[in-house]
Structure formats: C-alpha cells, structure tokens
Amino acid sequence: MGEITKLFKFIKPYKWYVILAAITMFIQVFASFYIPYLMAGIIDNALPTRAFDAVVRIGGIMLLFALAGIVSGLINTYASQRVSQYATADLRLDVFKRIQALSFKNVDELKQSRLITNATNDVMRVEMFFTMMLRIVLRAPLMVIVGLVLALGTSLRLSNVFFVTVPLLMVSIVIIMIFAYPRFKKVQLALDDLNNVSLENANAPQVVKSFVTQDFERGRYEKTNENYRKVNTGAETVMAFAEPVINLIFNIGVAGILFAGAYYLNRGELMSDGIPQVGLIMAFNAYSQQILIGLMMFAMVMIFLSRANVSAGRINEIYRTTIDLMNPEDGQTTNIDGHITFENVRFGYGDNGNLVLKDITFKINAGEKIGIIGSTGSGKSSLTYLIPRLYDAKGGSIKIDDINVTDFDIPTLRNQIGFVTQSATIFSGSVATNMMQGKEDADLESLEAAAKQALLHDFITDQKDGYNYLIKAKGVNLSGGQKQRLSIARAMIKQPKILIFDDATSAVDAQSEQKILNHIKALSYNPTLLLISQKISTVRKLDKILVLANDGTINGFGTHENLIRTSPVYQEIAASQLGLGGEYDVQG
C-alpha cells in the first residue's frame, strides 16, 4: 500500500470531485440500508394491523430513497471516473517527462522495454485502482460499518453468525494476498521481456528479413510469450480461486442467518405480541448481505491493490532513480564560439564498465573542420557524446571556450550544438515538423535554407505538399539517403556553433557528401565541425583528423599528410582503402 499512496498526489488537484464522490457514496449506501429498515416496518407493523395508509406512505418514502440511491450512484460514477481519468493523465504525462529527464546511462540501466511498460501497462493498473478507490474502496468500509451497526441494533442473537463468516473471509483475503503479490511482480517483469523482444524486432525488420531469421525470432518471441502466459496464468489463477472462496463464505453466511432465524423463531425468541418478526429477519438478512458484499468488495480491492501496488512501485522506482547527469544551478548561458578542449578524458559505459576512451587530450579551434576516424569500437561516437553532455566523462575535463561542459546550462549548450546520428531518427509528421525539432520557431525561409544545405530541397519541391509532405512512422516512405539528409537539415536549421556528424553522410553518395561539406564550409557563421567517418576520402581534405586506436587512445591528430607518415592506425586504414604500398601518397 505504501507505493500506491505516493501517487495520491496526482489526485489532490481534483479533491472536490473526491469529496463529491465520497458524499454521494455515503448517500447511496445509506439508501441501500434504509430501504430494508422501512420494509421491516411494513411487514412487522403495518401489514399485521392492516394499516394500508402506512404501507402507501412508507412505500413512497422507499421509492424516494431508491431514486436518491440511483442519482447518487450516477454522480459517484461520474466523479470517480473524472478523478481517475484526469489524475491518470497527469501521472502518465509526469512519467513521460521523468523518462525524458533520465540520462542515457539511466535508460541503459532501466532498459527501454521496461520504461515502455511503466508508461503504459503500469499506469493502467494504477488507473484501475484509482477508479476502484472512489467507487468501491469508499463503499466497502461504509457497507461493513453501517451494516454491522444496524445488524447489531436489529438482533444481537442473529449477529452471532458474524463470528464465523467475518474471520473466515479476513483469513481468506490474507492468504490470497500472500500468494498473489509475488506473482503480480513476476507478471510485470515477464511483460518487460515481451516488450523487449517486440521492440527489438520492430526496430530491426531489415536485419531479421535479410538474415532470414524470422523462424528464430518467432521462436524467441514464442518462448517469451509462453513464459508470460505461465506467470500471468499463475496470477490469474489466484484471482480465479478467490471468487469461489469468497462466494462460498457469503453463502455460508446467508445459510447461517436463515438457520439461526428459524432456530430462534422456533424457540419463540423472535416474536412481537405473538407475531413472528419476519420483517426483522428479512432486514437483518439484507444487512448481513450488505456486510458480506462489502467484505467481498474489500477482498477484491485488496487483490487489485496488490497488483496496483506492484505497478506503483515500478513507477516510483523511476522517480527514485538518481539522475546522474543534472543541470547545474546558475549554469552558464553564454553563446559559444566553438573552441573544444579535451584534457585527459576517460570514459566508459556503466559503473563498472571497461573504459572506452583513455587519456584523450586534444584541442580544436573554433571553426575548424575535424575528421574523426578509427576502426569499429575505437570510441569515435562515444567521444562526440561527451561534448553535448549526453554522457559525462569518468575523468578529465571537456571544455568549450575554456568553460567546462558540466558548468553550462544543458539546454543552452545543446541548443548550440547540432548532432546528426549515424542512424537517422525520423518522426511521423510532415517534413517541416521534423526539421522544426531543431528550431521550433523556424520560418519557411529558414526551412528552405537548411534543406538546400542538406541537398533535400529538390526532393521537397517535387512533392505535391512541399514542406507539408507527410512522413510515416520511422520514415518508411523515405529512402535511406533522404532520411539522412532530413536529419542533417534538422541539425543545420538551428545554425549551431558546433556541428557533429556521427558517420551521418554514409547513406549519401560521394558527390552529395562533398556538396554537403562544401555547404558547411561556406556557411557565414562558420561552425566547428566534427565529422566521424570510416572513409579516408571523406576526411582527408578537412583541417585535421583525429585518429583513435582500438584501445581508446589517440593514435594521431593532424593533417592527412602528417598522419600518413606518423600514425600506424591511419597508415593501416589508408593501405586498405587507398591501396597504397610501402610509399604512402601524401598528395591531396
């Protein structure tokens, strides 16, 4: 229960609807109890004395209370639904914002599939509990308390039945919860695994199809799906077992009341002026049924609560996660020129991960065009992640214009850095909305300028809708080169002072690649460019080239002509790509 209560803060803004739900619930419960009380008066008093005017009068009052119960029930349903829907919408949005605030390291540790489950299935479980809380959680204790008071006031003798039924029901609830809670935790973990397999296959259909691994992936999904079925069946079995047990206890209570009523009538202890108090027995039976129904509701609520509490705990774990990459208070908001300095930088993924970068030291002047090259796994992308603080270094310092990146206001820093990832990420929407993620207030002139720099303008103008051309999810209606150009245009539109291309021109042809680089060199604001590439032909004409070795160290930093003589790693790459022999060509 402790985890779910931490999420009650999302209900507070709707406290007046909570109060309305509570009041109408009380009216509904009161009406449901008062009607049997009036019925008992008719049977035991009005009918034996043939007071038919009293029957009509009391019957009218019963009708009014029945209508009051119906109206209050409708209002309660509306109020509870409004609270649960609005509170859950706020929770879902807040969870999404929290996920956005997580660092890359946090996401790596929590796993993407688990975060998807948190934002969808776990929130849905909490929503179900919020709804039940105002419709059933309030009603169950009211029914039990009011019912017990009226039942005891009606007949102490018949109330002895409760000494059997109530303990039986409470013990059953406790046993069911003991078995249910750990099963619900396993269900959510199994759902994480199912989402993970689905996510991996949805994100890599080309790999699955090109390697003809559909059967393998289908088998992997089937295995994960079967595991989910087993653990979910185990949890649902507990809930399925709970219903007949509770119904059995309920029926035992009804039978006990009828048996006790017959016993006391036979002994003459439930008589009034020689007339059996049948109405009293009927009223007591109605009260006891309300009590048992209330206890049944309580039992079901506790089962749902245990499931919702598991989900709430998983959501709260996101809130409890320490975000390792925080925006500094009073962070620097100055405009940058683009000078970049690395001093003895070390970096690795995870708390105990191997170092990907070791003692990296270099300096780049503002406006320089730098190529970064090295074999796969040498840490090229990791190095560029540290500049906009997507990750923080394990040691050393990274400075921009002699200011440590950890001292910058993060939005200010990132707004001045254009980052084009190796794998183009395209969102559903128009060409314009994709580009305007780089600059929300971009006008048509800015869109056209960025599109021309990325060699995308001709494609856009060929479309009937132009910049309103709709792109499907993941850009499935674009070619690889078009997606990459759109990613480049999105980065260029913000006119960044530092521009990072993480092998971003690999999907375009050599001629287009050179045109894009020429556009960058001709820009009036002259950004600092860091271009990761696997090809020497791409980086050889840039101002300098940074060469990384497989062990995460710098193997060389200089011009193509210099590196071809001094860097063994660069020489090896040059020999494989340019077909050079013992004498290295140093001509452009």
Q: How many domains does the chain have?
A: 3
Number of helices (H) and strands (E) in the chain: give both, helices first: 21, 14
Q: What is the pLDDT of residue 407?
A: 93
Q: What is the pLDDT of residue 562?
A: 92
Q: What is the pLDDT of residue 587?
A: 46
- Which pTM was predicted? 0.70
574 and 469 within one domain: no
443 and 404 within one domain: no
306 and 199 within one domain: yes
Domain boundary among 473, 495, 517: 495
Phi, psi of 454 (to 5 degrees): -95, 5
Reading the block at residue 203, the tokens are: 């994100």
532 and 482 within one domain: no
Helices assigned H by DSSP within 395-455 = 410-415, 431-435, 444-453
Per the listing, tokens 């019925």 go with 39
Q: What is the pLDDT of residue 352?
A: 66
For residue 66, CA distances in Å to 19, 63, 142, 160 come to 22, 5, 18, 30
For residue 185, CA distances in Å to 77, 181, 311, 322 come to 30, 7, 8, 23
Q: What is the pLDDT of residue 59?
A: 79
Identify the CA nearest to 558 among candidates 364, 324, 347: 364
368 and 266 within one domain: no
479 and 348 within one domain: no
- Kindly give the parts of the chain with pLDDT less than 70: 1, 37, 40-52, 153-157, 202-213, 239, 264-281, 351-353, 506-507, 579-588
Angle at alpha carbon of residue 193, lines to 192 and 196, rounded to 5°:
85
Domain of 347, CATH number, reads 3.40.50.300
Q: What is the pLDDT of residue 208?
A: 61
Contact 268, 275 (CB under 8 A): no
Reading the block at residue 12, the tokens are: 């507070």
Q: What is the pLDDT of residue 558?
A: 93
Domain boundary among 461, 479, 495: 495
Rounded Cα gap, residues 29 and 290, in angstroms: 9
383 and 404 within one domain: yes
Q: What is the pLDDT of residue 499?
A: 92
519 and 403 within one domain: yes
Rounded Cα gap, residues 289 and 293, in angstroms: 6
293 and 223 within one domain: yes
Reading the block at residue 489, the tokens are: 């245009």
239 and 148 within one domain: yes
Contact 150, 143 (CB under 8 A): no
User: Domain of 122?
Assistant: 2-320
Q: What is the pLDDT of residue 183?
A: 79
